[in-house]
Amino acid sequence: MLLRDLLAKWLERFSHAEIESAAADSELLYAYIAGMSRGEVQAAALSGAEVSSEQQAQYEALALRREQREPLQHLTGAAHFRHITLAVGKGVFVPRPETELLAGLGIDFLNSLDQSRLTAFDLCTGSGAIALSIADEVPQAKVIGIEKSEDAYRWAERNFADFENAELILGDIADGAPAFNGQVDVVLTNPPYIPVGMVPIYPEVALHDPELALYGGEDGLDVVRVAERTARDLLREGGFFAIEHADIQAAAITELLLARGWHNVTSHQDFNGRDRVVSAIR
């Protein structure tokens, strides 16, 4: 079978299944099976390359699962985030491109500091995407991630193992890390912020992301409030705190931080032009 015909078949089926990234996913699945980049897959399809019967069988088996809205990252076992690749699968939240904004704000703040010893915390670290992006891009920083879920922690362990300047803690962010109180430069968090009773519109999220990583109480802000208290304890004066949130929560989080005495409270929009992060200075 020609590769271009295989890709066209599944592009149509993925589109019919209302997968927004139908073209990318059809190509990335084959790239995973063949050990190629997406660009190499596109070039091979244009050149009239053929697919072996074995590769076709492997591809179709995975494509059927993707058609049923199993996340692409669960099928390939990997998620790409900024400049790193993370091991992910059942039991851990799949990092989103929108969250790269949050990591970038923390990285920019650390890089603005004239210090040789820097410390950053990632509360509700999940796969470790935020923490390990900092560890990767600010190698002089000590980075600590805290994760409550044992399932997510097992995935994070695999990812943290590649970074000597990153430490992982299994625990509740409500307990904080008292040994670091008043000494931390940056605290970031992408907490669960969906209000209980609100069902995510994407089946990949609703059916496959762990509930512990999604739901944040009646108004979605229960864990945000906990993270704010812990960040206030951890940060030194002048330290930086940033929270990812749903686009309708920016005003509520801004009000919360102002009421708790934070300074320079600022709302940031993601690449879709939606309110996505609120930052503040301790």
155-167 pLDDT tens trace: 999 999 999 999 9
DSSP string, 147-160: E--HHHHHHHHHHH
Q: State pLDDT tens for residues 18-67.
A: 999 999 999 999 999 999 999 999 999 999 999 999 999 999 999 999 99
Spans of all domains in the chain = 3-68, 81-281
Region 81-281: CATH code: 3.40.50.150
- Taking the model in full, what pTM does it have? 0.91
What phi and psi values does residue 189 have, to the nearest 5 degrees?
A: -155, 135
Q: What pLDDT, on the 0 to 100 scale, is given for residue 209?
A: 83
**Helix H or strand E encompassing 252:** helix 250-259
Pairing of strands 184-189, 235-244: parallel
Pairing of strands 275-281, 235-244: antiparallel
Q: What pLDDT, on the 0 to 100 scale, is given for residue 204?
A: 82
Which residue stretches of the chain have pLDDT < 70? none
d(CA 140, CA 138) in angstroms, rounded, equals 6
What phi and psi values does residue 118 have, to the nearest 5 degrees?
A: -125, 145
d(CA 248, CA 22) in angstroms, rounded, equals 28
Q: What pLDDT, on the 0 to 100 scale, is given for residue 116?
A: 78
Q: What do you get for the CA distance between the two ends of the chain, in Å?
A: 60
**Helix H or strand E encompassing 23:** helix 22-34
What phi and psi values does residue 199 have, to the nearest 5 degrees?
A: -95, 125
Are 66 and 29 contacting, i.e. CB atoms less than 8 angstroms apart?
Answer: yes
Q: What pLDDT, on the 0 to 100 scale, is given for residue 115?
A: 77
Token pair belonging to 18: 């209302």
